[in-house]
Structure 1
C-alpha cells in the first residue's frame, strides 16, 4: 500500500507541474482579463467576436476578457513589439487600471533627484571592459533551452540557472544578494539581483528585461527567443559583470531584474512594480532592455518616446550618448521611435508612476521580423558576435554608473589620457559637458558646472564669462567643503607637435573673504611630477580675470596634460572661497583662437537633386553665392563632408514669400530620406524635426544645435522646399554657417545635449504612405502606393518565412496594386512583403495568410 500511495503521489506531482496554467483561477475556459487600447479591442471583436468581451472603455483603453487565441491574434494584427495588452488578475483590477494609459505621478519618488554627468573616469573605464563575446555566448545558452514559454519547465530552469550565474559573478561581495520572486499569475518565477547602495540604500536604480519567450501558431515548445529577449538578459548580465570586475560600489542601490511571462501580458514585472509601489520604494529611474541585437535600422539605438516614458530620463540617455559615444571606439548613433500599448515591462513601472526609459535595437517598424517565431535564432542577427548588443551594454553602464553615482576601489586615479587633442586652437567653455576634462579621485572635492550664481552669498561669480556655463568648486560645508579641501580637474592629452609657442589662456573668478589658491600644473608623458605653471591666491574681486600662461617648455611635444587645482579656505568663513574657471583656450602664442565662421559659398558646390523627391527641380544661387533659392516642389543637396559632433551648429537666414508643405534643412550620409535629420522651419505638413518650426515672415535667423539631435559622419547638406499638393512655394537659405560650439558669440552650446527631437507625425515619401491590406488575408493582397509623384520605380516582393522569394512585381505609378495569391497555393502562416524604392531604402511588413 505504501508503494501504491507513493506512485499516486508522484503521478499527481507530474500532473501538477505539467499543466500549471490550469491552476490559475481566472484562466479557466481559456479566458482571462486584460486592458488594451480600445481600437485594438474593437478590431478583435469584429474579427473574433466569440473570443473577446469588451467590459468597459475609457480614455482610449478597454477592460476586456479575451482568449489566448485572441491575444495571439492581437500581436499579428498590430504588427509591433510586445503583447499589446496588460494581464489583469481580475475584472475589478482591469476596470481600475483604465485610467492609467499615461504615466502616473508617483508621489513617493525623490523629485529632487537630478540626472547629471559626474562619473566620467569610471564610465570610460567600464566601456573598455565590455566584451561582446560574453553576450553572444549567453544568448546562445538561453536559446539552447529550446523554449522559455512561461508554462514550461525549461522556462523555470532558465531562471534558476540565471540566478546561479549572477550569484557566481558576485561571489565575495557582501553587499550583493540574488533572490527568486514567485508570482500569482504564472508559475514561472523572476530573478532579482541587488547591489545595496553605500550612502542612500533606499534609493533604487533598476535595469530589467524579460527572460521568457514565445512563438506563434501553437509553437510554444519551440520558442528560441534569441533576440526576444535572450539578447536583453545577456546585455544586462554583461553590464553587471563589468561592474563586478571594476569592484564598483554604488551610492544608490542598483537592481538587475529578469522577468517572467512578459509575452503574456507583462505578468512578472507588473507584480513586482505593484509590490514596490505598495511598499513605497523610491525608484529613482528604471531602464528596460528588451531586444538589443538586431540592427534593423540605420542608427544604433532608438529611444522610445511614448507618453509613458519620462522625457527627462530620455534626455539624459541622449546626453550620455552625446558625451561618451560621439566618436572613437565607443561611438554610437541614436534616433527616436514609438512603441505600442504595453509593449514591454517598462510599462509596468510607468503604470505605477516611476520614471522609465526604453532604448531599442531599431525603429519599431524595422525591428527583428523573426520575433515570436521559431526563427528567432542567434544566427539571424545582421551583426556578428553580438556587437550590436554590446552597444546597449555600454549605454547601460553609463546609465547605472552615473545615476547610482558610485565609486570603484580599483579606480586608476583619473590622470591617464583617454583622448588626445591635436587640432588647434582648442577651446573649452564647458557649455554642455566637462569636454573630456576629468575629475581626479585623489582629492577631496569635485568641480561642478553652473550657469548662474553659486549657492553661497558673497562668493563666486553671478554668471559665466563665455556662454552660459562655467566650472567652479563649491566650498560650503565645514569638514566637507572646507578647510583646505582640494579639487583637481585634469585635461585630455594635447599633441603640441604643430605648436612652436603653445599658450594657455583662461578666465578665472576668485571672490570671497576666505579665498585660498588656484594653481595650474603641467607635465608630459615622461614626467612623474606635475610642474606649476600658474598660481593665484586671495580675493581678486567680484569679476572675471584673464590668465595667459606660456607653455613653451612643452612646445612640439606629443603628450602634454594640464590640470587645475583649487584649495578652499580656512577659518570659520572658509565657505566663502568658491573659485571658478571658464573659457579655456590653447593656441600658438601669435594666433587668434576665435573661429572665422565663414558662410558657405554655393558657387563652390554643385546643386543636385536629392533622393526621389525632386519633382520640379527649380533652384538658383544668388547674392554672389551667399544664398540658395528653391521654388516649387524640390529637394536639393550639396556634397559636404562633415563630422557632426555633439557641439555642431548650423546657422542660416531663411525667407519665404509663399508657404509650402515642408521648408527644411539637414545633414545626410546617403541619398535616402531620414525624417529625423531634417529641421523643419516652416510649412503646413507636420514632418521632420519640428522644434524650430517658428518662421512667420520676412527674413529670420535660425541657429540650430544639430549635434544635440544626432551625430555622425555626413556627406551632404539637404535643402527642402516640398509641396506635393501644388506650386508657387519658395525657400531662400542665406549665409549658411556650420561650426562647433560658438561663432563670434552668436551662440553657445547651452543645454544642447538635453534637447530631444519633436518629430512630426505626417510622413513624406513613398514607403510611409504605402498601405498593405487586408491583413490577415486569404487569397489576395492590395498594395496601395499614394505618394509616387516622381514616378520612381517601386519593387514589391513576397517572401515566405524562410526568406524564399515567391513573387516580384514593379510599378512606377500611384494607386492600388492587386496581387492574387491563389496561383501560389500558399499554406496558412506568416509571410513578408518587402517594398523597395530608390531613395528610401525598403519597408518590410509581416502578413498572416489564413
Structure 2
C-alpha cells in the first residue's frame, strides 16, 4: 500500500508589528526571498541595532518571503555577512508576484528543455586564448575600479560612473567588430549593469553568460569607503580579461556570449535578478552561466571552492573538468554558501544552469570584504590569484560557446549535444516508446516524455518498451516527480557506434533532493531488453533538474536507455512507487 507523501509545508505568518509598518509605509517597500535558516540570525542582528525584521508572509521549501523597507536592504546585507558569511544572502524583488514565483520555484521551461550536453573538444582555440591572459591587465582593472571612486554603491552617482567607465573600457576592447556590442542595462536605481555581447555565428539564439557584480558596499557605513577590490572588482577584472583575450585572438563563438557586470548585488542580487527575469520572460535560451564573485584572495589550500547549492550539478561537474583539462594541478573542493549568496542564484531561480567557482571556502574567505580594507594592497598588490579564474572563464567560454579563434577550425556543435546531428525521436508504435530510427550523434526525446502517466502533457504514456512498466499515478504535475526529457549523445560529436563513449542527459522534475533518486539503465537490444544499471543519482535540488551520466555503447544496432525516477525505494528498472516515473529512449547505433 502506497503511503501518500505530503507536499512542502506552507506557513502564513502574521504581519509585522504596527509600529514597524507605520514607519515602513512612508518609504518604498521591497519584497525579498531569503533562506529560512537565515531568519533568526538576521533577526538577532536587527535587534542588536534596535530594529525589527518583519515576520515572513510565506515560508515554503526552506525559503521565506518578507516585505521590508528598501532602506533596510543594506542593513540586512550586513547582517547576512556578519552572521552567516553570505553576500548578499537574499534576493530582492520589485513585486510580491515575483517573490512568490521565486519561492514556488517558477522556471523557464523552454530554455530548460534545451540544455546542451557539455563536452570538451575545442582545445586549439581555448589554448590560444589561455596563452594571452595577463596578470597585469587584471591588476590594472582591479586597481582602477577600487581607487577611482570611493564607493561603487548601487544607488549613488559614483556607482553609475564606474559602470560608464567599464562600458568605455569594454567598447575599446570590442574595437571595430560588428558582431560585438556593449550596452548599459538600466534599472530603477542609479547604477546600471553593463553587458558586452559577442553574437554567435551558428547558434545565436543560444546564450552563454559570464558575470560578476560591479557594485561595492561598506557594511558598517552607507557613506564609508567601499573599494571592493576583491568583492567584486576582481571578478569583473577576471571576466574583462577573458573578453579581451577572446577579441585579441579573433574568437568567434558559435553560441552568443554575454559578459555581464551586475549592479546592486550587495543589496539582494538586484541587477542579476532583473536581467535573469527579463531573459526568462523573453524565453531566451541561456545554456550556461558562470559567476565570478571574488577571485583574488587565496585563503584556502584549494584553488577553487565549487558552490554546490543553487547551482547546476552537470555544469559544476563540467567546470571542474575544465579545471582538470586546462589547468592541471590546480585543486578544488565542494562548498555551500546558502540561499542568494551571489548572482548565480538569480539565474538558478529563473531556471537556468549556473555554476560558481569561489576563491576559498566560506570560512577562509577574505576577511576585509565589506570594509574600507578590501584593497589590492591587502591582497599583496598583485592579481596573481585572479589569473586562474580568468583562465577558467576562457575555457568555459570556448567549450560552452564553442566556435574558434583565428586560424583554428570550430568543432561541431548542436543544440542537443556534443556535435554532429542529433535526431529528435518519434513514437514507435511497435515498441511503444520514443525512437530515433537513424543513426546520428545522439538521440533526443524532445517533448514526448514531459510529465508522468496521466499527470501533465505526456503523450503515448507510459513510454516504456511494450508498455511493460506503468507510471505511478499519485501527486500533481510539476509538483511531484516526473521525467521530462532524455538525451543520449556521443562525447566526441561523431555518429553513435559500439565502443563510443556517450553521455545521457536526463531532465527531471524533482520533489526532493534527498528522497528522490534517478536510476539510469541501458539495454543493448531494445526489442528484447535486458537492463543493466548505469548508476543511481540524486537531484541537486527540487524543481527542474538536469542529471548526466556516461557509459560505453555495447554492440547492438537498436539500443535503449531507461530513466527510472523514484520517490524513496531502492534501485530498480521498474519501481512500483505511487510517485515513480519510468521512460525509455530507443536509438540506432552503427
What TM-score does the superposition give when structure 1 sets the normalisation length?
0.44
Per the alignment, do residues 272 and 28 of structure 1 end up closer, same or farther by CA in structure 2, a change over 3 Å counting?
Answer: farther
For residue 63 of structure 1, report the CA deviation from its aligned partner. 1.4
- CA, structure 1 residues 221+381, in 2 after alignment: closer, same or farther (shift >3 Å)? same
Separation (CA, whole Å) in 1 of partners of 2:102 and 2:115: 28
Identify which of 75, 78, 93 aligns with 2:80: 75
| Structure 2 residue matching 1:408: 3-state secondary structure | coil
Do the aligned residues in 2 keep the contact of 1:30 with 1:68 (CA within 8 Å)? no
1:107 alignment partner, SS class: helix
CA contact (8 A) 2:41 2:83 kept: no
1:725-757 CA distances to partner (integer Å, 9 max, x unpaired)? xxxxxxxxxxxxxxxxxxxxxxxx979xxxxxx
Query: Out of 179, 186, 191, which is 1:188 matched to?
Result: 191
Q: Equivalent residue of 1:365, what SS?
A: coil
1:398 — aligned with what? 395
Cα separation, partners in 2 of 1:104 and 1:254, compared to 1, 3 Å: same
Asked if the contact 1:74–1:83 (Cα under 8 Å) also holds between the matched residues in 2, the reply is: no
CA distance in 2, matches of 1:115, 1:122: 17
Q: Please, which moves more after superposition, 56-65 or 191-200? A: 56-65
Q: By how many angstroms is 1:255 displaced?
A: 0.4
Mapped contact 2:111–2:352 kept (Cα < 8 A)? no
- Measure how far apart 1:160 and its partner are: 0.6
Cα deviations across residues 411-448 of structure 1 (Å, max 9, x unaligned)? 4xxxxxxxxxxxxxxxxxxxxxxxxxxxxx49x989xx
Structure with higher strand content: 1
- Write the distance in 1 (CA, Å) between the matches of 2:161 and 2:151: 11
Map 1:414-433 to 2 at 5 A: none
Does residue 1:279 correspond to 2:282, yes or no? yes
* In 1: Cα distance, 2:209 partner to 2:37 partner: 32
Q: Which runs of 5+ in 2 are unaligned?
A: 1-23, 424-437, 442-493, 502-549, 553-590
> What corresponds to 1:123 in structure 2?
126
The 5-angstrom pairing of residues 435-514 of structure 1 reads 441=409
Deviation at 1:205, TM superposition (A): 0.6
The equivalences for 1:31-430 within 5 A come to: 32-45=30-43, 48=46, 50-54=51-55, 55-66=57-68, 67-68=72-73, 70-100=75-105, 104=107, 106-111=109-114, 113-144=116-147, 145-184=149-188, 186-306=189-309, 308-326=310-328, 331-381=329-379, 385-411=382-408
SS of alignment partner, residue 192 of structure 1: strand
Aligned residues of 2:207 and 2:255 also touching (Cα < 8 A): yes
CA distance in 2, matches of 1:576, 1:369: 52
Given that 2:235 and 2:293 are in contact with CA atoms closer than 8 Å, whether structure 1 keeps it comes out as: yes
Rounded to whole Å, the distance in 1 between the matches of 2:199 and 2:383 is 30
1: CA distance between counterparts of 2:45 and 2:265? 25
User: CA offset at residue 69 of structure 1?
Assistant: 6.2
Contact 1:181 1:192 (8 Å CA) reproduced: yes
RMSD: 3.3
Question: Any idea what SS the aligned residue of 2:197 has?
Answer: strand
SS at match of 2:110: coil
Instruction: Map Cα deviations across residues 500-526 of structure 1 (whole Å, 9 max, x no partner).
Output: xxxxxxxxxxxxxxxxxxxxxxxxxxx
Residues 51, 69 of structure 1: 8 Å contact kept: no
Q: Say if 1:38 and 1:61, in contact at 8 Å, map to a contact too.
A: yes
Cα pair 1:110 1:284 within 8 Å, conserved: no
Task: Give 3-state SS (helix, strand or coil) of 2:363's partner.
Answer: helix
How far 1:295 sits from its partner (Å)?
A: 0.3
Q: CA, structure 1 residues 377+398, in 2 after alignment: closer, same or farther (shift >3 Å)? A: same
Q: CA separation of 1:475/1:39 partners in 2, compared to 1, >3 Å: closer, same or farther?
A: closer
User: Bigger radius of gyration, 1 or 2?
Assistant: 1
CA distance in 2, matches of 1:215, 1:577: 56
Q: Deviations over 1:475-522 (max 9, x none)?
A: 979xxxxxxxxxxxxxxxxxxxxxxxxxxxxxxxxxxxxxxxxxxxxx
Cα deviation code 1:149-184 (max 9, x no counterpart): 112211101101111111111111110011111112
Larger RCO (CA under 8 A, 6+ residues apart)? 2
- Residues of 1 paired with 2:215 and 2:178: CA distance? 29
Decide whether the 8 Å contact of 1:297 with 1:366 is kept in 2. yes
Give 1:129 deviation, angstroms: 0.8
C-alpha spacing 1:233/1:27, structure 2 compared with 1 (3 Å): farther
Deviation, 1:227, is 0.2
Alignment of 1:642-721 (within 5 A): none
Q: 1:577 to 1:177 in 2, by over 3 A?
A: closer
Relative to structure 1, is the Cα distance of residues 576 and 138 closer, same or farther in structure 2, using a 3 angstrom cutoff? closer
Gaps of 5+ in 1: 1-25, 412-440, 457-473, 478-574, 583-748, 752-850
What is the alpha-carbon distance in structure 2 between the residues aligned to residue 455 and residue 199 of structure 1?
Answer: 16
Shift of 1:46: 5.0
1:142 partner SS: helix
* Alpha carbons 2:45, 2:83 under 8 Å: kept: no
Q: Following the alignment from structure 1 to structure 2, what is the Cα–Cα distance between the partners of residues 228 and 42? A: 26
Check 1:111–1:247 CA distance in 2 against 1; reply closer, same or farther (3 A cut): same
Instruction: Decide whether aligned partners of structure 1 residues 127 and 96 sit closer, same or farther in structure 2, where only a CA change above 3 A counts.
Output: closer
**What is the rounded CA distance, in whole Å, between the counterparts of 2:161 and 2:121 in structure 1?**
40
CA distance in 2, matches of 1:254, 1:362: 27
Pair 1:76–1:273, CA change in 2 (3 A): closer
**1:247 CA drift (Å):** 0.2
Cα distance, 1:319 vs structure 2: 1.1
| Secondary structure of 1:86's aligned partner | strand
How many angstroms apart in 2 are the aligned matches of 1:373 and 1:131?
Answer: 28
Partner-residue secondary structure (3-state), 2:259: strand
Cα offset, 1:193, TM superposition: 0.6
Structure 1 residues 60 and 180: CA distance shift in structure 2, 3 A = same
SS in 1 for 2:299: coil
**Secondary structure at 1:172 match in 2:** coil
Distance across 1 between alignment mates of 2:232 and 2:412: 42
CA distance 1:173–1:579, shift in 2 (3 Å): farther
Using the size of structure 2 for normalisation, the TM-score is: 0.63
4+ residue runs over 6 A deviation:
474-477, 575-582
Q: Is the 8 A contact 1:110 1:282 kept in 2?
A: no
Residue 38 of structure 1 deviates from its aligned partner by: 2.1
Aligned residues: 403
Could you say if the C-alpha distance between residues 111 and 212 of structure 1 is closer, same or farther in structure 2, counting changes exceeding 3 Å?
Answer: same
Contact persistence 2:46–2:79 (CA under 8 A): no
**3-state SS of paired residue (1:167):** helix
**Closer, same or farther: CA 30–380 of 1 in aligned 2, 3 Å:** farther
Secondary structure class of the residue paired with 1:36: strand
